[in-house]
Structures are given as structure tokens and as C-alpha cells.
A and B are shown apart, each in its own frame.
Chain A
Amino acid sequence: MNNKIIIEAKNLTLRYGKHPAIRDCNIQILKNKVTAIIGPSGCGKSTLLRTFNRMNDFIDNFNIEGEVLFEGKVINHSDMDPVEIRKRIGMVFQKPNPFPKSIFDNIIWGPKINGFIGNQQELVENCLIDAGLFDEVKDRLNSSAMELSGGQQQRLCIARAIAMKPEVILMDEPASALDPKATMKIEELIKKLKKSYTIIIVTHNMQQAARISDNTAFLYEGELIEYGKTNSIFTKPDKQQTEDYITGRFG
């Protein structure tokens, strides 16, 4: 793996109170690739993902040891402004969470509060096109986002993340609340987006990881068991635990 590293975790240990959620994790995320983080429920996938854009800051008595580097800079120290980081590392959540505003406002809000001064209409339309939602909503940009279907809402949330022109998009089980058809659309979108963005996706759907990711990390009980090319992880994993998990013996 001789590609450019965009995010790196070094000796990362994450704790809720005393309970460690991630233990001594070292991982390098490559630029313009889709990296999947898989593992059974409660293994710390989402916790790890949320450290990459400091979303764990909102959890009381969460603490962090080790370092997270974004383009070579440590981002988990308190002197680093999390707002700056989140501008460059966007996020899509498990359940679609559009703002209870119009479709247009959903997308433009992020750029607007961060001082965007270009053509708003153009930006919104481009983001919707990139998120594969434009044709479905082009006639009703000013109607409420809450009227969209679940799958459309999730693509709107992706459009909202894209609007910030981030370098990385974190996705926390983005399709787990959606039906198979909507899931397929999201997956196609992810494949398309990786040309311009680095995507880290948490999923407990192994087939999904196999379908869309370039690299896969397997976490189990807070430990990074195995990390490598998706192909090799799913065909000839090094570790017994990984094999047991992907063949469905547990999890």
C-alpha cells in the first residue's frame, strides 16, 4: 500500500469512563479510497470513526490516548479547533438526519455559515447532481426535506456533506436504515464519490464492505484484528478470527 496516507491513528486508545472501546489501534487510511470498517456490534467501529472528526467531543467522560493525524497534523489535541476539522472531514450518519428546512437550505446552510460567497443555486444543484438526487427533487428545492423518502433523505445528507467540499467523508452505517433498493443507490453513489473524496464507511453488512470498499479493517472487541486490501481480507484472511467473522461463524 504505497498510496498517500490521509488519516492515521497511532497507538489510539479510546475509553468511555474506564471502559476501553478501542485498544491501541494503529491504522492508516489512504487517500481517494473507500475504506470499510467492519466488525460485530459493539466492537468500537463507530467510536473509531467519530474520533476522525472529533464527534466524540460531545460525549461526557470520553477520553482518548494516542494520536489521530489528518494530513500529518495531530487533530485530537484540545488546541486544534474541531470546527475546522469538521469542515474538511464531513460525516453521514446512520439514520438520515436532514434539517427540518427546505432541500435547498439543507445543502446551503453549511457553506453559508462558513462564509460561502459564490452562487448558491449553482452549488446546491451541483451537490444534488453529485449525490444523484437532482432529477428527483429539481422541481421542489424549496419544499421541506422531511417530505423526502428515507433513501432520498440520506442522499440529501450526502449532498449536504459534499457541499462543504471536504477531503474525507465519514459514513456511519449509512444504509442500515434503508431498504435494499435505496441501499443500492447509496452504494453506487459511494463508488462514484471515491474519485473525488476519501470515504471511510462503517458497516456491519459484510457483503456491502466487499462490494464497495478498496480496503477493509476488521475490528473485534476494540482491537484492530486485520487491515488490508478488501480482496485479500475476504478471500484469504491472515487471522483465524477474521475468517470466522466473514464466513459468518459469529457476529
Chain B
Amino acid sequence: MNDILSRRKLKAEIFRIIATISTWSSIIILIILLGNIAWDGLSKVNWTFLNNFPSRFPHKAGIKAAIWGSIWMLALVAIIAVPIGVSAAIYLEEYAKKNKLSRFIEINIANLAGVPSIIYGILGLTIFVRFFQLDRSLLAGSLTMSLLILPVIIMAAREAIKAVPKSIRLGAFAVGATRWQTIQSHVLPAATPGIFTGVILAMSRAIGETAPLIMIGALTYVAFVPENINDPFTTLPIQIYNWVSRPQVEFHHLAAAGIIVLLVVLLTMNAAAILIRNRSLKKYKW
């Protein structure tokens, strides 16, 4: 009897140790990685680096083109993907009848969110670059990236819309509101913080994606700031990838500096998302 009990306790203890090691090992690896990058790149992050175009001389090379490319792309992606994604979510949650077709669409959107990004790159290459002849422009890249994050936005927006209690909608209908008045005045305002959080997280995915852009041919030497949506472009992760793939150690340090910039941008965006979520939790206690 005592024997069994002690073995059970032993098992519990072993499991606790395994779980603890799993948690801490990933955190430690992350710290080592970040430390390594900081060690390599921190000294390179300065105004010259931020304000220079890429160059074959490491001491002159900078990420101005990449920063502006990323900003352009994010803005375009926001303009393209957010309205479509939010409208689709509203349609699925508020208008579409719950039948086999809508379930089929829902499942497929969830699947699309899990498709590897390189596939979107191939799609973008075929449709936007070749078929629509957009070439390796900002527009082609942004459209491809929009496709990539649309499922994420739709799912996040749907969750946010679904979280608005049904009783609020019924209350609005009961005073003679139309479907759209109800959505506009009650559902969307209450769902906006959630939608916003989802959008920011989707955008931070877009800013970090490299594969689809390489696929559509954005991996080129770009030594200018794009001026319109038909210009070729580069983005932060592509510039980093470019530097990492060079043999010289100096460029690796530049890559580390680029990673630091990208991380700062990403963490800022995620922090904003968390902040918005927490504030809305206080405002809407259903």
C-alpha cells in the first residue's frame, strides 16, 4: 500500500521536473539567442544604420530602404486586408445562415490560416506578379501578404464579434433597429478592441514574414525609398536574410542589428495589442 503511494508521488515529482525543465529551457534558449544578437548587433544600431541605404561596404550599409519598404507594405496590407477581413467576419457572424455552406467556409478559413506562407508566395507569384503583371512591386507584395493574413484577421474579428452577447443585439432589435443599425451602433463598437488586437497581431505576422516575399522576387538590391505602389521594394526581414547569406562577418553583425530593429517594432506592436485588450476588458464587463 505504502509502496504504491510512494511510486505515485515519485511519478508526480518526475512530471513536475519535466514540465519545469521544458518551460525554463525554452526561456533560456530565447535569452541566449537574444543575448547573442544583442552582443553582435547592438553596437551597430545607430542613426547611420537607420538612415543609410544598403551598400557593399558594411560600414556604410543601412536599413533605410527596408524600413520604408516595411512601412509601405504594412500600410497597404492594412488598407487591403482589414476592410475585407472585418467585412467577411461580419458577414459570417451576423448575416450568413448557419448551414453546411457557412460551416464549409469557416473550416476552410481556419485551414487557410495554417497554410505555410511559402504557398502564399507561390500564389502571389502566379496571380499578382505574372497574371496581373504587377511585377515585383510593392502592390504585388502587399496583396500577397494580405492574402496571408486575411484568414487570421477574419478569425480574430469573428471571435471578437461573437463575444458580444446576443442579448445586446436583441435589445437593439426590440427598439426597432435594423440589422445594420445594430451592428454599427452596438456590435462593432463592442468588438472593435478585439478586432484591433487581432489586426495588430496579424500585422506583426506580416512584418516578420520573409518566405512569400522572396518567392515573388522581392529579394533584390534596393537602394531607394519606394515612392509609389509600383516600385520594387525590400523589407526588414528580407534585408536581414540578405545580410545573413553573405560570407563577411561584418554583414552578420549588420543582420543582428536589423533583427534588433525588427524585434523592437514587433514587441511594440504586440505590447500595443495587449494594452488595447486589457483596456477593453475593463470597459466591457458582460
A48-70 near B? 1/0 per residue, CB < 8 Å: 00000101001010000000000
Docked complex: A21-58 residues within 8 A CB-CB of B:
53, 55, 58
The complex places the Cα of A160 from the Cα of B181 at a distance, in Å, of: 16
* Total CB contacts across the A-B interface at under 8 A: 64
Picked from A84, A99, A161, A163, the residue with its CB within 8 Å of the CB of B168 is: A99
A191 CB–B CB distance under 8 Å: no
Picked from A93, A99, A163, the residue with its CB within 8 Å of the CB of B186 is: A99
How many whole Å from A203's CB to the nearest CB in chain B?
Answer: 18
Size of chain A's interface in residues, with CB distance under 8 A? 26
How many whole Å from A128's CB to the nearest CB in chain B?
Answer: 16
Picked from B97, B168, B176, the residue with its CB within 8 Å of the CB of A110 is: B176
How many whole Å from B179's CB to the nearest CB in chain A?
Answer: 9
B177 CB–A CB distance under 8 Å: yes
Chain A residues positioned under 8 Å from B34 (CB to CB)? none
Is B185 in contact with A91, judged by CB distance below 8 angstroms? no
A53, A86, A98: residue with the most chain B Cβ atoms closer than 10 Å: A86
How many whole Å from A61's CB to the nearest CB in chain B?
Answer: 9
How many whole Å from B224's CB to the nearest CB in chain A?
Answer: 49
A184 CB–B CB distance under 8 Å: no
The complex places the Cα of A131 from the Cα of B188 at a distance, in Å, of: 29
B170 CB–A CB distance under 8 Å: yes
B167 CB–A CB distance under 8 Å: yes
B284 CB–A CB distance under 8 Å: yes
- Give the residue name and chain of the B residue nearest to A163 (CB): B175
Chain B residues positioned under 8 Å from A86 (CB to CB)? 173-176
Q: Is the interface of B mostly helix, strand, loop or mixed?
A: helix
The complex places the Cα of A84 from the Cα of B173 at a distance, in Å, of: 11
A100 CB–B CB distance under 8 Å: yes
Is B167 in contact with A93, judged by CB distance below 8 angstroms? yes
The complex places the Cα of A114 from the Cα of B173 at a distance, in Å, of: 12
B41-63 near A? 1/0 per residue, CB < 8 Å: 00000000000000000000000
B165-201 near A? 1/0 per residue, CB < 8 Å: 1011011111111100100011000100000000000
Is A83 in contact with B283, judged by CB distance below 8 angstroms? no
Is A93 in contact with B170, judged by CB distance below 8 angstroms? yes
Chain A residues positioned under 8 Å from B170 (CB to CB)? 55, 58, 91, 93, 97
With contact pairs A60-B97, A97-B167 given, residues A161 and B174 touching in the complex (Cβ less than 8 Å): yes
The complex places the Cα of A186 from the Cα of B274 at a distance, in Å, of: 41
With contact pairs A109-B185, A113-B181, A113-B185 given, residues A99 and B171 touching in the complex (Cβ less than 8 Å): yes
Is A100 in contact with B177, judged by CB distance below 8 angstroms? no
The complex places the Cα of A97 from the Cα of B283 at a distance, in Å, of: 16
Is A113 in contact with B168, judged by CB distance below 8 angstroms? no
How many whole Å from A111's CB to the nearest CB in chain B?
Answer: 8
A146 CB–B CB distance under 8 Å: yes
With contact pairs A55-B170, A93-B170, A97-B165 given, residues A109 and B283 touching in the complex (Cβ less than 8 Å): no
Picked from B171, B173, B174, the residue with its CB within 8 Å of the CB of A98 is: B171
A185 CB–B CB distance under 8 Å: no
B285 CB–A CB distance under 8 Å: yes
Chain B residues positioned under 8 Å from A93 (CB to CB)? 167, 170-171, 174
4 tightest CB-CB pairs across the interface, nearest first? A110-B175, A87-B176, A97-B167, A91-B174
> Could you list 18 further interchain pairs (A-B, Cβ under 8 angstroms) beyond the known A53-B174, A100-B190, A160-B175?
A58-B170, A60-B97, A83-B177, A86-B174, A87-B176, A90-B175, A93-B171, A97-B168, A97-B170, A97-B171, A99-B168, A100-B168, A100-B283, A109-B172, A146-B285, A161-B174, A161-B175, A164-B176
Q: Interface residues, chain A, CB within 8 Å of chain B?
A: 53, 55, 58, 60, 83-84, 86-87, 90-91, 93, 95, 97-100, 109-110, 113-114, 146, 157, 160-161, 163-164
24 residue pairs bridging A and B, Cβ less than 8 Å apart? A55-B170, A55-B173, A60-B99, A83-B177, A83-B178, A86-B173, A86-B174, A91-B170, A91-B174, A93-B174, A97-B165, A97-B167, A97-B168, A99-B171, A100-B190, A100-B284, A109-B172, A110-B177, A113-B175, A113-B185, A114-B176, A160-B171, A164-B175, A164-B176
